[in-house]
Amino acid sequence: MADEVVPNSPPTQPSTTVEAPTPPENTNPNGSTLLTQSDTPPADVPPGDKPPEKVEAKPEEKPEAPVVPEKYEVKAPEGMELDSAAIEKLSPVFKKHNLSNEAVQEIVDAYSGHMGDSLKAQDAQFEAWLKTETKNNETALRTEFGSQYDTNIRSAQKAIGRFADASVKKVLDDTGLGSHPGMVKMFAKIGAMVREDSPALVPGQLNEGRKSTAQLLYGKTN
């Protein structure tokens, strides 16, 4: 029997395993990729430039504690009077918040300035009201007195000049009562009564001819 011919098998190649190259050891503890770097330069820093160095903040110096006095000694601004009772009453609050004498003085100055402005505004408002009220009262009295307006006003002014002292005139001016129709009519009547009851006097009749204010206002008295 003839020998069978067996095809030759391809030569067996030795098996070889290709391994990926081992990356060099990363010596950067902050990472070396865009996602792992934690200390990348700011985007606005040109390549090659170093980012600005971080400046450590110095610890803030604590201000000195204010000196709180046992008793506050403050002064009122010029032209104003200090409310000592109010300062004494508020002193516990000042001390609670550790306010120094200088701080309380600043508070007093600021508040006094505010009060001064408020008083000026009130004075201006009163003057405007008084001007309007006087004009309205004059209009009303002219309507009521008619042609006797000037005569009645002169009589009222003479009565004021004779019986009212400076303090009464000040009250009339400060309150605006000097233009009140009721007040004007009252003094106009007093002035007319004085004019009617003032006959020419002759020697020896001085006391008989002059009547008291009570007689002029209320008639005969016992």
Structure tokens at 1: 């029997």
How far, CA to CA in Å, does 210 sit from each of 29, 154, 201, 215? 120, 21, 9, 10
Residue 156 included in any domain: yes
- Predicted structure pTM score: 0.49
Q: What is the pLDDT averaged over residues 203-210?
A: 46
Q: What is the pLDDT of residues 57-98, one digit of tens each?
A: 777 777 778 889 999 999 988 888 888 999 999 999 999 999
Question: Quick one: angle between helices 166-175 and 149-163, nearest 10?
Answer: 130
Q: What is the pLDDT averaged over residues 138-145?
A: 94
Structure tokens at 14: 């030795």
Residue 54 included in any domain: no
Please report the pLDDT score of residue 58 as a whole number: 72
Residue 34 included in any domain: no
Residue 97 included in any domain: yes
Q: What is the pLDDT averaged over residues 196-208?
A: 49
Please report the pLDDT score of residue 40 as a whole number: 54
Residue 70 included in any domain: no
Residue 68 included in any domain: no
Residue 47 included in any domain: no
Q: What is the domain extent for residue 211? A: 84-218
- The fraction of the chain above a pLDDT of 90, given in percent, is 47
Residue 12 included in any domain: no
- Give the separation between CA 222 and CA 202, rounded to whole angstroms: 25
Mean pLDDT across the chain, nearest whole number? 77
Q: Which of 183, 146, 150 is nearest to 164 (CA)?
A: 183
Q: Which residues have CB under 8 Å from 112's CB, separation 6+? A: 76, 77, 80
What is the domain count for the chain?
1
The pLDDT confidence band at residue 101, using thresholds 50, 70 and 90, is very high
Please report the pLDDT score of residue 202 as a whole number: 43
- The fraction of the chain above a pLDDT of 70, given in percent, is 63
Q: Is the pLDDT of residue 49 over 80?
A: no
Please report the pLDDT score of residue 80 as a whole number: 87
